[in-house]
Amino acid sequence: MSAFVVAEAVEDYAAAHTTPVAPFLQALAAETRVALESPEMLTGEIEGRFLEFLVFLAQPQLVLEIGTYSGYSALSMAQALPPGGRIVTCELDPLRVAFARRQIARAGFDDRVEVRKGPALETVESLEGPFDSVFIDADKGGYHDYYEAVLPKLSARGLIVVDNVLWSGRVAQAPADDDSDSTRALRAFNDHVAADERVVNVMLSVRDGVTLVRRA
């Protein structure tokens, strides 16, 4: 994940005025920074609370997450699941899968959160749905395919949440020859969603940019 979109002082102020996260999430974040590469990929306290609020409001029965990393976002959402609700989270990297499963079990949510190892598109194909909530936070080049795979299985009042859509503001800059593949992919994805008449969306400057999508 790239840097915050808002000024660091503003981000710090917002974090200081957000309800502190549970101790097990604090411990998970600390262990992630020691045990896994790319700790900047952690969802973080503000966005974790944001995801928890969305689940609290929507009360989904089935949540799909594409991109588990260390399990922080899945556990953030799990705290607000209604009775009978569950999360299926997809992760390709075996080290991250093992780490997340340990953290989820330690937090006592392994009866509600399932980590699926393997390509996310295969997991999506294997699930009947409908998905009441989908959180996409994985390889940026795959965003278009993930979006197209989950949209037909989205429930009538379902919500797709997509992370890193502002990419430190690089997507808003004029295209350049030295743009990374991720920058190009995110720019194309954002344009695709904005032009998609099947949906209504809003792009928010939360952390590194979050887009919310629902059926039109």
In a domain, 3, yes or no: no
pLDDT in tens, 45-60: 999 999 999 999 999 9
CATH classification at residue 180:
3.40.50.150
In a domain, 29, yes or no: yes
Segments in the chain below pLDDT 50: 1-2
Pairing of strands 62-66, 131-136: parallel
In a domain, 1, yes or no: no
Round to whole Å and give the CA distance between 196 and 131: 19
pLDDT at 146: 98
In a domain, 208, yes or no: yes
In a domain, 174, yes or no: yes
Pairing of strands 86-91, 113-117: parallel
In a domain, 67, yes or no: yes
Q: Are 136 and 159 in contact (CB under 8 A)?
A: no
Name the domain count of the chain.
1
pLDDT at 7: 87
pLDDT at 2: 43
Tokens matching residue 137: 């936070």
In a domain, 2, yes or no: no
pLDDT at 64: 98
Tokens matching residue 95: 């080290």
Round to whole Å and give the CA distance between 24 and 165: 28
In a domain, 173, yes or no: yes
* Domain hosting residue 191, numbered range: 8-215
pLDDT at 3: 59
166: Cβ–Cβ under 8 A, 6 or more apart, which residues?
5, 172, 203, 205, 208, 209
